[in-house]
Amino acid sequence: MVLVANAFNMAVLRPAGVPEEYHVITVITSMAPVLIYIGVWYDEDRQPYWEQSREHIVGDLVFVIIGAAVGSAIALVAIIDVGLPQFLQDIAAMAVGFMLSWGLFWWRNPTLYGREASR
């Protein structure tokens, strides 16, 4: 997914004039579903998730993608002019983007993580 996001950055965003500092948003947005769904895919306790309707799963995916894009964009806009090194800006954007993305996924599937929440 990182290769696809970077190809998109080079083919679309760079020619459109989007500053390079914002290219990390597409990488975060493309990786958020991978990180979230790997845990759901491999955890035996979460296998009932895949028995839900296709529409529900696609809706979750849309929430994950939008959450990652919005969260990372908000973080970058807030810190882009602070003077932090690019690496720290990217890490902050990733943290906020992934947390908002996972939060929206959890919000749509609270029973999936019910046992962890009750501990």
- The answer as to whether 76 is a domain residue is yes
- The answer as to whether 116 is a domain residue is no
Q: 47: domain range?
A: 2-110
pLDDT at residue number 116: 58
pLDDT at residue number 45: 87
CB 29 within 8 A of CB 97: yes
- H runs (alpha helix) in 9-113: 14-16, 24-42, 54-79, 86-108
- The answer as to whether 119 is a domain residue is no
Percent of the chain at pLDDT exceeding 90: 80
pLDDT at residue number 94: 95
- The answer as to whether 67 is a domain residue is yes
| pLDDT > 60? residue 1 | yes
Sign of CA dihedral 52, 53, 58, 59: negative
| pLDDT > 90? residue 111 | no
Q: How far is CA 39 from the centre of its chain?
A: 14
Average pLDDT over residues 1-17: 93
- The answer as to whether 69 is a domain residue is yes
pTM of the model: 0.86
pLDDT tens figures, 49-106: 999 999 999 999 999 999 999 999 999 999 998 989 999 999 999 999 999 999 999 9
- The answer as to whether 118 is a domain residue is no
- The answer as to whether 117 is a domain residue is no
Separation of alpha carbons 39 and 32, rounded Å = 12
Domains in the chain, number: 1
| pLDDT > 60? residue 23 | yes
